[in-house]
């Protein structure tokens, strides 16, 4: 058994004291001398021609410095499909379309100026239902695209699904839907753009992707004619990410444009309503699934098709089918798989990345259908999952190489801790659902890498410059522990710098639960170089063999003789302050050995995979439809828990976000307009809604991970909704196939099952039904 001094310990977050005392500076708190305040004017229509914009009154308002419209800016296109200009010209395609922007000496004047801009619109027919939007007569959201269906053909077929269907002893088929939900970071979005005397740009922004944001901002500079200028991205403390900051947004580019015209720094800061309306959601889905097994319960095929509401523009939401493919092809052993997804333009808000990145939607349908199929086959649901469980050494149909796999242990842990054997009470039920997720990075970009530079000072401290982005999850703490472990120093002696592209190396971004694995391996690689050199110096100083040297608690000694030691600080100074001296520095770039998906979408996307099983006991009130969570067990294969305190935090937070997704959260769009842009009406769970949750950590020590660790940022919120839906079915015999599972939906389903007539709006279909 290895004995660690930093890894595996419940080390408090290294930035926690700064946050507990109010010292931590978020974008809200940053002010630059001479800074102006920007505001954005949004569309009044979901789809309209812009006939005229009159900015004269706004420009004449004292204190206003710049007013811009889509006609005033060079061609800039944001997003993966490059279909989204930061200010729209010609027409608007959703209520959140930015039509003009103002910079003024204070936020109130900027707000007044926005009100003085007169826009004349000519309303166009709009489309809000993605299935309608695919029809031949649907209004086109982007005329030059010729169709509302995005030309990204997400389609795979492994094995022979049709043949498997004819062989299946048992089959189920159904339709599931999921709706818009949003990240609700407690700190709203904001950015400051600042040009220096030579037109180099610094952007202070909330971002999970400093390096890719830098690239996007460079393109905006190029559009301004600044081809040889530099961009520096500075990331203050981030008040929550969850995927929301994985792309650059209009407000960031607008701040740059305003700053360029004003020749002064410009800050744009969102209020809460703007945050709800003008940032992106998780993508809604309409899912058809059919799945079958043989008479022993072995899965034979899984056949899924989806329609995703892309909204009016294209951000990372359009690529979520690539991640949905992971559970579809590889959650449980299933030899024949078919999947096709269409992303469709509508005049709704556009979607983005959100924790789980498509996995929660796909897993909702898959794990609901697994319970349905187990029931159809007459096999116990846990036994059914055991029969089909992924195992170490598996190669899945999509070409994923399963190395370590703790799924069998997770299933057993849930069975045991949730006491599934307990006799059933009326109105009480249990449900389970499992997950697979990338745990060793995810190669969706040309590089999945992360760089680290370590610079030792003369006193035994390590400055670690990492590409990783901390957004509260604790990346900096994990990296500090890894470096401390390698160098035999205390975590307090490691200073992690992750805020600035001018000093930090490249990283693809904080997504895909990749930071502990990729940035961790990168930090490990750099620290190992320093360690090697320190051991050599120690061996010289102590006149011993290098292989016998130990680094621990800031000193080096010969194995077995800790009494005779030399401080690391002394080794560093001796090396530094000597003729032809050396400074102890090292760099390392780690890019995992995972693969881009091929044309057939095959490829080992991740260097290892995370698994988990959730189990929940609910009570359903048959009179009101209210669902109460009595007990919840979340078992995760994490490789190794580098920091159990932070790991539990990811699980507690992820699960509660998942419970919100399952039961309460919904951005209500009425013909494209956000009807609930505040916390009164958009229900994230509060302290009173917290649940009794038992996290179970399964360690499989994956040899590819840093000290054996896998990623765990997203998995907590992946299988929550199907676990709860399965528990509701177990409790009262109704299967809810649409999220969120509101009391209205549960009650309507209970009434329907009991044959009670009801009339009015049917919460299941949201369509009016006649009184019978």
Partner 1 sequence: MSKDLKFVLNGNRMEMAIEEHWTLLHLLREELGLTGTKEGCGSGECGACTVIVDGLAVNSCLYLAVELEGKDVLTIEGLASADGTLHPLQKSFVEHGGIQCGFCSPGMILSSKALLDENPRPTDEEIQHALAGNLCRCTGYVPIFESVKAVIQKDSEDIGVVVREAGSSSDS
Residue closer to partner 1, measured from CB, 20 or 583: 20
d(CA 739, CA 662): 6
What 3-state class would DSSP assign to 131?
helix
Q: Does 686 bind partner 1 (CB under 8 A)?
A: yes
- For the chain, how many residues are written? 772
Residue in 51, 123, 163, 186 binding partner 1, rule: CB under 8 A: 186
The interface region with partner 1, picked from 34-42, 255-263, 416-424, 650-658 by CB under 8 A, is: 650-658
Query: In 3D, which of 436, 438, 454 has the Cα closest to residue 508?
Result: 438
CB of 612 to partner 1, least distance (A): 15
Reading the block at residue 337, the tokens are: 């798989």
d(CA 81, CA 352): 13
The interface region with partner 1, picked from 96-104, 178-186, 278-286, 620-628 by CB under 8 A, is: 178-186
**Which residues, numbered 22-61, are part of the site for partner 1 (CB under 8 A)?**
22-26, 28-29
Residue closer to partner 1, measured from CB, 185 or 489: 185
CB of 644 to partner 1, least distance (A): 10
SS3 content of the chain, % helix, strand, coil (to 5): 30, 25, 45
Residue in 271, 393, 562, 733 binding partner 1, rule: CB under 8 A: 271
Pairing of strands 299-311, 336-345: parallel
**CB-based contact 691:659 (threshold 8 Å):** yes
Q: Does 12 bind partner 1 (CB under 8 A)?
A: yes
Backbone φ, ψ for residue 671 (5° rounding): 45, 50
Residue closer to partner 1, measured from CB, 182 or 726: 182
Residue closer to partner 1, measured from CB, 26 or 589: 26
Query: In 3D, which of 58, 69, 29 has the Cα closest to residue 190?
Result: 29
Q: Does 188 bind partner 1 (CB under 8 A)?
A: yes
DSSP 545-559: -GGGEEEETTEEEET
Q: Does 15 bind partner 1 (CB under 8 A)?
A: yes
Q: Does 63 bind partner 1 (CB under 8 A)?
A: no
The interface region with partner 1, picked from 137-145, 232-240, 385-393, 662-670 by CB under 8 A, is: 232-240
**Which residues, numbered 242-261, are part of the site for partner 1 (CB under 8 A)?**
242
**CB-based contact 414:686 (threshold 8 Å):** no
Q: Does 727 bind partner 1 (CB under 8 A)?
A: no
Give the relative orientation of helices 743-754 and 720-732 as an angle to the nearest 10 degrees.
30
Residue closer to partner 1, measured from CB, 239 or 625: 239
Q: Sign of the C-alpha dihedral, residues 275, 448, 330, 647?
A: negative
Residue closer to partner 1, measured from CB, 46 or 658: 658
Q: Does 683 bind partner 1 (CB under 8 A)?
A: no
Q: Does 707 bind partner 1 (CB under 8 A)?
A: no
Residue closer to partner 1, measured from CB, 431 or 472: 472
Containing 161, the helix (H) or strand (E) segment is: helix 161-167
Interface with partner 1 (CB under 8 A), residue total 55
d(CA 557, CA 563): 8
Q: Which residues make beta-bridge pairs with 507?
A: 450
Q: Which residues make beta-bridge pairs with 453?
A: 465, 587
Q: Does 654 bind partner 1 (CB under 8 A)?
A: yes
Q: Does 280 bind partner 1 (CB under 8 A)?
A: no
Q: Does 675 bind partner 1 (CB under 8 A)?
A: no
The interface region with partner 1, picked from 166-174, 518-526, 540-548, 652-660 by CB under 8 A, is: 652-660
Residue in 154, 158, 217, 237 binding partner 1, rule: CB under 8 A: 237
The interface region with partner 1, picked from 183-191, 226-234, 557-565, 700-708 by CB under 8 A, is: 183-191
Pairing of strands 266-269, 190-195: antiparallel
Q: What secondary structure, in 3-state letters, does 285-304 show? A: EEEEEEEEECCCCCEEEEEE
Q: Does 471 bind partner 1 (CB under 8 A)?
A: yes
Tokens 């998906």 appear where? 597
Side-chain-side CA neighbours of residue 711 (13 Å):
26
What 3-state class would DSSP assign to 741?
coil
CB of 238 to partner 1, least distance (A): 6
Q: Which residues make beta-bridge pairs with 433?
A: 614
Residue closer to partner 1, measured from CB, 80 or 691: 691
d(CA 597, CA 446): 11
The interface region with partner 1, picked from 218-226, 307-315, 513-521, 683-691 by CB under 8 A, is: 683-691
Residue in 379, 669, 693, 696 binding partner 1, rule: CB under 8 A: 693
Q: Does 240 bind partner 1 (CB under 8 A)?
A: yes
Residue closer to partner 1, measured from CB, 19 or 754: 19
Q: Does 21 bind partner 1 (CB under 8 A)?
A: yes
Residue in 8, 265, 399, 472 binding partner 1, rule: CB under 8 A: 472
Residue in 649, 735, 752, 769 binding partner 1, rule: CB under 8 A: 649
> How many CB atoms lie under 10 A from the CB of residue 767?
8
**CB-based contact 201:257 (threshold 8 Å):** no
What 3-state class would DSSP assign to 718?
coil
Side-chain-side CA neighbours of residue 184 (13 Å):
22
Residue closer to partner 1, measured from CB, 201 or 651: 651
| Binding residues vs partner 1 (CB under 8 A) | 12-13, 15-26, 28-29, 183-188, 237-242, 271-272, 471-474, 645-646, 648-649, 651-657, 678-680, 684, 686-688, 690-691, 693
């Amino acid at each position: 058994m290895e004995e660690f001094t930093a890894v595996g310990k419940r080390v408090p977050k290294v930035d926690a004291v700064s946050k507990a005392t109010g010292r931590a500076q978020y974008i809200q708190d940053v002010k630059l001398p001479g800074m102006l305040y920007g505001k954005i004017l949004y569309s009044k229509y979901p789809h309209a021609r812009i006939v005229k914009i009159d900015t004269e009154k706004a420009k004449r308002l004292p204190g206003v410095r710049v007013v811009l419209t889509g006609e005033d800016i060079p061609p800039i296109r944001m997003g993966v499909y490059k279909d989204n200009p930061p200010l729209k010209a010609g027409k608007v395609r959703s209520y959140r379309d930015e039509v003009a922007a103002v910079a003024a000496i204070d936020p109130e004047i900027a707000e007044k100026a926005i009100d003085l801009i007169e826009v004349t619109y000519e309303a166009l027919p709009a489309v809000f239902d993605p299935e309608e939007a695919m029809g031949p007569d649907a209004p086109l959201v982007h005329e030059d695209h010729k169709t509302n269906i995005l030309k990204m053909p997400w389609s795979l077929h492994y094995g022979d699904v049709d043949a498997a269907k004819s062989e299946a002893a048992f089959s189920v088929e159904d339709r599931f839907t999921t709706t818009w939900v949003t990240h609700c970071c407690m700190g709203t979005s904001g950015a400051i753009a600042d040009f220096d005397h030579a037109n180099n740009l610094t952007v202070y922004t909330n971002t999970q992707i400093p390096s890719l944001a830098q690239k996007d901002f460079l393109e905006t500079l190029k559009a301004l004619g600044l081809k040889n200028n530099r961009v520096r991205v500075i990331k203050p403390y981030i008040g929550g990410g969850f995927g929301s900051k994985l792309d650059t947004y209009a407000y960031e580019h607008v701040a740059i444009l305003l700053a360029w015209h004003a020749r002064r720094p410009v800050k744009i800061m969102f209020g809460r309503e703007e945050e709800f309306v003008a940032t992106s959601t998780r993508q809604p889905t309409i899912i058809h699934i059919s799945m079958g097994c043989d008479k022993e319960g072995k899965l034979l095929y899984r056949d899924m098709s989806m329609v995703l509401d892309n909204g009016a523009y294209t951000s990372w939401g359009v690529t979520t089918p690539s991640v949905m493919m992971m559970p579809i092809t590889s959650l449980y052993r299933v030899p024949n798989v078919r999947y096709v997804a269409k992303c469709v333009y509508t005049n709704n808000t556009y979607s983005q990345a959100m924790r789980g990145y498509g996995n929660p939607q796909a897993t909702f349908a898959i794990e609901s259908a697994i319970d349905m199929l187990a029931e159809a086959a007459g096999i116990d649901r846990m036994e059914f999952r055991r029969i089909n469980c992924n195992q170490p050494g598996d190669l899945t149909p999509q070409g994923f190489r399963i190395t370590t796999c703790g799924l069998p242990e997770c299933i057993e842990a849930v069975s045991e801790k949730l006491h599934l054997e307990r006799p059933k009470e009326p109105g009480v039920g249990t449900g389970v659902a499992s997950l697979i997720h990338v745990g060793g990075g995810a190669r969706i970009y040309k590089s999945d890498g992360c760089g680290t530079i370590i610079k030792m000072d003369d006193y035994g401290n390590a400055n670690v410059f990492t590409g990783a982005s901390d957004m509260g999850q604790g990346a900096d703490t994990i990296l500090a522990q890894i470096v401390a472990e390698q160098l035999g120093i205390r975590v307090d002696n490691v200073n992690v710098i992750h805020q600035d592209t001018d000093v930090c190396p490249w990283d693809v971004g904080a997504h895909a639960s990749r930071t502990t694995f990729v940035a961790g391996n990168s930090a490990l690689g750099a620290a190992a170089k320093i360690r090697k050199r320190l051991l050599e110096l120690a061996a010289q100083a102590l006149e011993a063999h290098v292989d016998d040297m130990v680094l621990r608690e800031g000193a080096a000694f010969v194995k077995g003789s800790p009494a005779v030691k030399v401080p690391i600080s002394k080794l560093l100074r001796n090396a530094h302050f000597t003729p032809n001296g050396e400074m102890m520095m090292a760099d390392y770039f780690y890019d995992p050995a995972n693969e881009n998906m091929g044309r057939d979408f095959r490829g080992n996307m991740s260097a290892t995979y995370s698994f988990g099983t959730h189990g929940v006991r609910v009570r359903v009130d048959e009179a009101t439809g209210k669902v109460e969570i009595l007990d919840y067990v979340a078992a995760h294969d994490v490789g190794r828990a580098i920091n159990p305190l932070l790991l539990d935090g990811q699980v507690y937070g992820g699960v509660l976000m998942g419970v919100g997704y399952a039961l309460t959260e919904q951005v209500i769009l009425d013909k494209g307009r956000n009807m609930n842009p505040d916390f009164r009406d958009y229900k994230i769970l509060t302290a009173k809604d917290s649940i009794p949750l038992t996290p179970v950590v399964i360690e499989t020590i994956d040899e590819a991970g840093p000290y054996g660790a896998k990623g765990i940022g997203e998995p907590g919120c992946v299988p929550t909704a199907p676990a709860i839906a399965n528990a509701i079915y177990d409790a009262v015999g109704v299967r809810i196939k649409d999220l969120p599972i509101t009391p209205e939906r549960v009650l309507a389903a209970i009434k329907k099952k009991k044959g009670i007539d009801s009339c009015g709006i049917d919460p299941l279909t949201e369509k009016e039904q006649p009184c019978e």
